[in-house]
Amino acid sequence: MGIEYDGMYLGESIPVLGNFFRFTFVENKGIAFGIELNPIIKVGVSLISIVASVFIVYYMKQIVEKNKGAAFGLALILAGAVGNMIDRVLYGALFGYAPLFYGHVVDFFHVVFDVNIFGYYIDSFPIFNIADIAVSLGVAVLFIFYGKEEHEVAAGETSDGEMAELNKSGIDSDVAVETDIEGKSERPVRKISLPTETENEISEEPADGKDNNRKDI
């Protein structure tokens, strides 16, 4: 089932932006940042990734209408996880060097720099791929948007229980938009219409239209 191809050989590095950014072909035999695992644990990680991907799809469908930003972050994480999972599960079998679930993840983005932090010398960032970028961006987007829209709604709307009490008391209400004192934000609030003094006077008149205070002479 091996596939013949002409391309970069393992370990080859091609400069793109001088020596700072290169395409370097490596195979990650473990998980993130080249951490190697026991083969059995590696299979377990792949199975957990499959289950987690199914859960992410389900959860995205639940929140996409309420929080599109968080759903987008989850979509990025899902795309990255599935990309690396395909490499880990199928790559070895497709190219004939390992059975299913024992393949290696291909990494190729290589950033090279020369930094000395408190005596600790760093010459390059761990080589990564597009899937890693998607996961990292997804986590950042999820951190920004998760719970944000729900918090705004909770802060600005009257609860269903409060509306039920208003309806029981016979007070009509509708939705208005209120701007805070500094004029920086708007939020939906409930505007309550109370009976006016004139309406009270009218409602106190007798049904037959006669003035009970007037005495006939």
Residues serving a catalytic function are 107, 132
Tell me the C-alpha distance between 65 and 48, whole Å.
27
Element holding 75 (H helix, E strand): helix 68-86
Q: What tokens does 18 get?
A: 């001088």
What separation in angstroms does the CA of 148 have from each of 7, 76, 106, 142? 46, 18, 36, 10
Phi then psi for residue 143, to 5 deg, are -65, -35
Tell me the C-alpha distance between 50 and 44, whole Å.
10
- Dihedral sign for Cα 45, 86, 79, 4, please: positive
Residue 138 burial (10 A CB sphere; 0-12, 13-18, 19+):
buried
Which among 21, 212, 32 is positioned nearest to 112, based on CA atoms?
21
Which among 60, 64, 96 is positioned nearest to 79, based on CA atoms?
60
